[in-house]
Structure 1
Amino acid sequence: MATPRSPSIRNFFIAAVLLFLIHGVNSFYLPGVAPEDFEKGDELKVKVNKLTSIKTQLPYSYYSLPFSRPEKILDSAENLGEVLRGDRIENSPYVFKMREPQMCSIVGRIKLDAKEAKEFKEKINDEYRVNMILDNLPLVFPIQRQDQESPVYQMGYHVGLKGQYTASKDEKYFIHNHLAFTVRYHKDMQTDSARIVGFEVKPYSVKHEYEGNWNDKNTRLTTCDPHAKHMVVNSNSPQEVEEGKEIIFTYDVEFQESEVKWASRWDAYLLMSDDQIHWFSIVNSLMIVLFLSGMVAMIMLRTLYRDISKYNELETLEEAQEETGWKLVHGDVFRPPKNSDLLCVYVGTGVQFLGMVVVTMMFAILGFLSPSNRGGLMTAMLLLWVFMGLFAGFASARLYKMFKGTEWKKIALNTAVIFPATIFALFFVLNALIWGQKSSGAVPFGTMFALVFLWFGISVPLVFVGSYVGFRKPAIEDPVKTNKIPRQIPEQAWYMHPAFSVLIGGILPFGAVFIELFFILTSIWLNQFYYIFGFLFLVFIILLITCAEITIVLCYFQLCSEDYLWWWRSYLTSGSSALYLFLYSAFYFFTKLEITKLVSGILYFGYMLIVSYAFFVLTGTIGFYACFWFTRLIYSSVKID
């Protein structure tokens, strides 16, 4: 009776996915992502984003420091991914006129008290950078290298700097209070309109002076000439950060025509890494992994083919005196393992992750999740995780029924809750630490409620629907019968010990991804863009193949040693690559990052623990299904009385 109903549920799911895709394509494109034409004299409004530091990894809102403010601060609409990343996009007092240069424009003036001076010094000491946005383009600071023709771009500009000035040996703090903006535009050949293709800045620290009384933005400064064609900043006297100091914020803007077209304006941003990608090295490493995997697969197929031929020949000639090798355990190999319910839960969760990763990569390859769509990648991953709950419930229920389970609602609830609850608890603790630091990276209560709603309002029901459909299908039948009395497992050699074989099994899958992992960690923790999704998809395919083959090889050796407890070991064999991932993240922390604060270190290892846990579930499920298919294949290929 289950068969007639399944198409309707399937059609419902397909319709839901189509609606999600239609809505997703629209929601991923934020206002300003579409090309916008500007006429000469049009108003350009600069928006400010979070303050970031690679030393603390704690973002703060721009106005957490006493910068000059507009009359009213307005928050821009942000998607779920932007909020989770700590983005806080707000308006600013920086306003330009398209293709009309401005020199020595005054933004505002502040007088530092003791608290404000301390805040500025702390941010300068932690090397915080100011991030701004113009027409959806992030502000960059160009750095010219002697060994490179084109400059290297750094996201944002530093709040200030510290160093010695004059003969005093004491280190002083100086603020960047004058910004020299450069806006690059591409002009339309047929019309007078233009599109913005670049947004750069050079910051200066200038101790401004003025004549007479202060008259807001109409004051005449003696330290710079607003009528000069090319701005010349007097930086011989930098602006010091001390209590009671008066700081005047100024800027100038220059417009430069560029040959870069709007469609290619992100190319310069995507080449911001100091360490260029060593394509040949990466491809060489991947080819080595592919070669080893191919050799292992070939050896396995030839050896296995010889075993099957031998067993069948002996049975035909009735010469089998005593069974040996993996055929000997045919009566126990499909015996349900201990904690079979938990295995079903983790396999279902792994299927959910696998579906999320594959679809997310397809979106990224098609260009829906480009860096211009801030927060789009994280938003897509969260929504896809929620909708993939249907497959999680289906996979866990199918396996559960094969193990002769009867309480499908219990397994569905565990599948929907165990993994997300663990992640949410850890995330809640980390978020509390961020909130204690008064960082903008702390997820607001409203967003936490939205996450809980996605979990219990959509994901949990979909898991139950999937479990219902999966449990109503006929149970998967084993190719051989299971004996009532378990067979005793002989003493194993040291190299077949579960702990040793599991740890060995995780090396090759990790080796397939560790080079790419370096660039992913760099993009996350050093504020750089990751954009090679096509290459990442290739690495992911290599990971799938490697996890499957190494698990099959070790499972074959295990069965040949007459050890039939393969269920959990197959999951842990490829899943152990997550341990190496976490160890590599620790190595990366101590060799590449400059984090010194305790809270920042806890955040790093907390988030990497979440990533490693997810990687364990993903790779473990791949290895399990490979081994599951392998054992069913070989035991259905031999003649057993």
Structure 2
Amino acid sequence: MMNVVLFVAATALLCICTPRVAAFYLPGTSPVDYEAGAQLDVFGRKLYSIKSDVPHDFYFMPHCLPPEGEKKKHSSLGSLLEGERDERTAYSFSALQDEECHLVCRRPVLKREAQQLRKLAKDEYFVRMSLDNMPLTLKVPMDDGSFEYVLGYPLFTFSADKPDEFHYNNHLSFTVLYHRPKLSPSDFSRLGGEGDFMRVVGFEVHARSIKHVFDSEGNLTTCGDNGKPAGPVTVSPKQAPDEIVYTFDVEFVESSTSWATRWDHLLKVGSASRRIEWFSIINSCLIVFFLSLLVGLVLLRTVWRDFARYNNLDDQEELREESGWKLIHGDVFRTPFFPEGLAFFVGVGTQIFTVSLATILFALIGFFSPANRGSLLTGGLIFMALSSAIAGYSGASLYETLEGTRKRTVTSLIAFGFSGLAFSIFFLMNVLAVFLHSTDAVPFFTLLLLVALWLLVSVPLTYIGAFFGYKAAKVEFPCRVNTVPREIRKYSDIPPFVFCLLSGVLPFGVIFIQLVFILNSLWSGQLFYMFGFMAVVLILLIVTSCETSLVVTYLTMVNEDYHWWWKSFFSTGSIGLYVFLYSIVYLFTQPLMREMHFVSIIMYFSYMLLMSIGCGITVGMIGFRASFAFVKLCFSSIHVD
């Protein structure tokens, strides 16, 4: 077991150091060099609120349209599923040319739009924009002198005097951070000039509310160096502006940050978060250490002692007088209750586990950089579809080993069971998003693409994998199964399902802190790029799940109970219940999420239910695989007549 601890420690060091080496990006993005005076277009992504969790299109609010009209950029599948759209805005700059109090437009506000403004103000919406694929950020100073970066800017600010009154932020002060690249003569030839070039390495904003006033000649008198003080643009339950005047400032500031490292300050883990992550790793290592002691010093020593004792029993009469797990050798490999369900869970669990490994590996390498927006979700969907063959093979080979007869049922369960549940939840949430005019509602052709990915790629691969799984050689059990099942004596007043539920606390304790960061990223709009820590936690989770399942299986067999199959699965699979229970706690302990609307709560619990089920199936599969190998090893190491 010391080797396990050393392996985990070495992997932890490697994985934690890996994401900090961020000197380049892998294929997917390339720098754009802008010559002085070149046009820089700002794109609107979405309106986002933690309270409502219903993102809207950038033009859901009364915004100025660009001269060429509303125009959208091509978005990846992952971006569309995340509710983000790239739409050209009326904000446009000339590279390396500062501007002050630039008038964008005077936008009349319709009655319907005034009602929307009140709704957006109440739900505290943020506006997300981007320039050269860099997200617009709000720089917030912290107590320790560092800065925290918030994606987007608040659409409204609160009135200090009147709680029901909001101030609409119509004046944006942009700061474009740029870096001068070192260009060769061939680069100048390629770019078509020898002027001053820049690369965007940061995009920051400070938003204000200004009720602009014009003089008799139509010039603004309320901003600029000589601007007169003006009040804010007020929105309240009884008041909304008839017109909004949009203005902006832009300042170009040279930065030493290179283009390749421009995301580092956004992805940098704060000192507080890093301390929490280290605490999580240490806590998980302690769980693994004590479980390893239990398995290594107690369980395995007991098992080896049993091997020696059982192998020295030459007389069948002596065996009858003995008690212990050897007595169930004629029933321990008896086909469990509902083998179709077990094969389904093992197949799907193997699939999700494969997707998790592949996703974390590609993220560590750098393929899922946030510069490639939506790449993580797109990659996950592709991995899920392609790994369907693994699901079919794993479930079918186990069912063949159990000598099941309902092969078509098992294959169909694997092909349509979990993926069908996931698609049903997604489709219902998509219908809700359509009624709420949310960008979470994917376009019709995107929905068709997802259906095609499922029915034309995932399902056929599942059947192909199952075909080879049924043809594969069966696992040979070391003991024959008796014709008559052995009677199981009652050995505990605690129901087995209670024992399995309690066992799930251990693997949940390993992932608890990491789960908090993941939920913050999913539901609070925070950036998450701590895949090194996640890789370490995944390794610790695997070790903990294996050891927990081994202990439960041994305690089951030592009491002459051969119903270990489902217990080994649910002893670790019960982690899914704890994940869902914690999602309830999370909802009511986060200040902003406690004010979520009813529809948003439905969406939250729907997706968390799916996530919890997937987590339970995957970790349950890990526990079952470990116990299956353990039981086979035990009974192949003793002599049975």
**TM-score, length of structure 2 as denominator length:** 0.90
Which amino acid is 2:376 matched to? L
Is 1:266 paired with 2:260? no
**Structure 1 partner of 2:31:** 35
Give per-residue Cα distances to partners, 1:208-256, cap 9 Å, x unaligned.
111236xxxxx4211123xx5xxx7656411223445321100010000
Counterpart of 1:172 (choices 165, 170, 174) is: 165
| Alignment deviations for residues 383-409 of structure 1 (CA, whole Å, 9 cap, x no partner) | 101000111111111111112124534
Residue 76 of structure 1 corresponds to which residue in structure 2?
73
Aligned AA (1:571): F
Report the CA distance shift for 1:434/1:492 in structure 2 as closer, same or farther (over 3 A): farther
CA contact 2:569–2:624 (8 Å) conserved in 1: yes
Residues 384 and 371 (structure 1), Cα distance of their counterparts in 2 relative to 1, 3 Å cut? same
1:150 Cα deviation after fit: 2.7
CA contact (8 A) 2:234 2:241 kept: no
Does structure 1 conserve the Cα–Cα contact (< 8 Å) formed by 2:212 and 2:230?
no
CA positional deviation for 1:455: 0.8
Is 190-199 or 232-241 further displaced after alignment? 232-241
Which of 526, 532, 544 is matched with 2:542 structurally? 544
- 1:181 equivalent to 2:153? Answer no
Distance 2:254 2:344 in 1: 58
1:161 aligns to 2:157 (yes or no):
yes
Task: Give the Å deviation of 1:429.
Answer: 2.0
Find the residue that maps to 1:198 and give its secondary structure.
strand
- Correspondence 1:285-364 to 2 at 5 A: 285-298=283-296, 299-315=298-314, 319-364=318-363
Q: Choose from 200, 210, 217 the match for 2:214.
A: 210
Quick one: which of 50, 57, 66 aligns to 1:54?
50
Partner of 2:393: 394
Gaps in structure 1 of 5+ consecutive residues: 1-26, 214-218
For residue 248 of structure 1, what is the amino acid of its counterpart? V
| Pairwise CA distance, 1:508 | 0.6
Residues 315-339 of structure 1 show CA distances to partners (whole Å, capped at 9, x for unaligned) of 3898545231111111111111121
Give the structure 2 partner of residue 509 of structure 1. 507
Letter in 2 for 1:93: A
Cα gap change, 1:325/1:170 in structure 2, threshold over 3 Å: closer, same or farther? closer
SS in 2 for 1:240: strand
Per the alignment, residue 379 of structure 1 pairs with: 378
Q: Is the 8 A contact 1:106 1:249 kept in 2?
A: yes
Q: 1:566 to 1:210 in 2, by over 3 A?
A: same
Q: What amino acid does structure 2 have at the position aligned with 1:196?
A: V
What is the CA deviation profile of residues 358-413 of structure 1, one whole-angstrom value per residue up to 9, with x for unaligned ones? 11111001011122221111111111010001111111111111121245343222
Alpha-carbon distance in 2 for matches of 1:235, 1:460: 65
**Separation of aligned partners in 1, 2:155 and 2:260:** 31
| Aligned pairs (5 A) from 1:568-587 | 568-587=566-585
Aligned: 1:151 with 2:155: no
- 1:240 pairs, out of 218, 234, 240, with 234
Instruction: Spell out, residue by residue over 1:396-435, the C-alpha distance to the aligned partner (whole angstroms, 9 max, x if none).
Output: 1111111212453432222101111122222222222222
Indicate if the aligned counterparts of 2:222 and 2:230 stay in contact, CA closer than 8 A: no
Distance 1:244 1:260, change over 3 A: closer
* Structure-1 separation of matches of 2:346 and 2:546: 14
| Paired residue type of 1:516 | Q
Is the 1:315–1:639 Cα contact (8 Å) retained in structure 2? no
- Structure 1 residue 190: deviation in Å? 5.7
Letter in 1 for 2:381: L
> Amino acid of the residue matched to residue 234 of structure 2?
E
Of 46-55 and 434-443, more deviation after overlay is shown by 434-443
- Give the number of aligned pairs: 598
With over 3 angstroms needed to count, the CA separation of the structure-2 counterparts of 1:272 and 1:437, relative to structure 1, is: farther
Alpha-carbon distance change, 503 to 601 in structure 1, aligned in 2, over 3 angstroms? same
- Give the direction of change, closer, same or farther, for the CA distance of 1:418–1:528 in structure 2 (3 Å limit): same
Q: C-alpha displacement at 1:276, in angstroms?
A: 2.8
Separation of aligned partners in 1, 2:211 and 2:150: 25
Q: Distance in 2 between matches of 1:173 and 1:118?
A: 13
Displacement of 1:80 after TM fit?
Answer: 1.2
Aligned to 1:424: 423
Deviations 1:11-52 (A, max 9, x none): xxxxxxxxxxxxxxxx9965xx31111221111111111100
Classify the secondary structure of the residue corresponding to 1:489: coil
SS at match of 1:49: strand
User: Mind listing any 5+ residue stretches in structure 2 that lack a counterpart?
Assistant: 1-24, 185-195
Q: Counterpart of 1:10? A: none
Structure 1: how far apart are the matches of 2:375 and 2:342? 33
Cα distance 1:170–1:409, how it changes in 2: closer, same or farther (>3 A)? closer
**Which AA in structure 1 matches 2:252?**
F
- The separation in 2 between residues aligned to 1:408 and 1:53, in whole angstroms, is 47
> Deviation at 1:640?
0.5
Indicate how the Cα distance of structure 1 residues 612 and 233 shifts in structure 2: closer, same or farther if over 3 A, else same: farther
Question: What's the counterpart of residue 637 of structure 1?
Answer: 637
CA contact (8 A) 2:71 2:88 kept: yes
Deviation at 1:104, TM superposition (A): 0.9
CA contact (8 A) 1:206 1:234 kept: no
CA distance in 1: counterparts of 2:183 and 2:380, whole angstroms: 42
Q: Following the alignment from structure 1 to structure 2, what is the Cα–Cα distance between the partners of residues 295 and 233?
A: 73
CA pair 502-408 structure 1, distance change in 2 beyond 3 A: same
CA contact (8 A) 1:326 1:561 kept: yes
User: 2: CA distance between counterparts of 1:269 and 1:233?
Assistant: 34
TM-superposed CA distance for 1:182, in Å, is 0.2
Preserved CA contact (<8 Å) 2:340 2:409: no
Q: Give the CA RMSD over aligned residues.
A: 2.0
Is the 8 Å Cα contact of residues 552 and 567 (structure 2) preserved in structure 1? no
8 Å contact kept, 1:209–1:221:
yes
1:125 equivalenced with 2:122 (yes/no)? yes
Match of 2:137 among 128, 140, 145: 140
Q: Quick one: structure 1 residues 233 and 639, their matched pair in 2 at CA, closer, same or farther if it must change by over 3 Å? A: farther
Query: Which of residues 90, 93, 101 in structure 1 aligns to 2:90?
Result: 93
Cα distance in 1 between the residues matched to 2:592 and 2:600: 10
Over 3 Å counting, the alpha-carbon distance change for 1:49 and 1:171 in structure 2 is same
Equivalent residue, structure 1, for 2:13: none
Measured in 1, the distance between the counterparts of 2:199 and 2:87 equals 22
| 1:285–1:182 distance in 2 versus 1, CA, 3 Å | same
Letter matched to residue 322 of structure 1: E
Deviation at 1:148, TM superposition (A): 2.5
Other structure's SS at 1:277 match = helix
The 5-angstrom pairing of residues 517-596 of structure 1 reads: 517-595=515-593, 596=595
Alignment map for 1:271-286 (pairs within 5 Å): 271=268, 275-278=272-275, 279-286=277-284
Q: Which residue of 1 aligns with 2:3?
A: none
Segment drifting more, 399-408 vs 519-528: 399-408
Alignment check: 8 A CA contact 2:542 2:622 kept: yes
User: Does structure 1 conserve the Cα–Cα contact (< 8 Å) formed by 2:280 and 2:510?
Assistant: no
Deviation at residue 112 of structure 1 after TM alignment: 2.1
C-alpha distance in structure 1 between counterparts of 2:343 and 2:288, whole Å: 30
In structure 1, what is the equivalent of residue 14 of structure 2?
none
| 1:125/1:162 contact within 8 Å kept | no
| Closer, same or farther: CA 233–266 of 1 in aligned 2, 3 Å | farther
- Closer, same or farther: CA 638–156 of 1 in aligned 2, 3 Å: same
Aligned with 2:312: secondary structure? helix
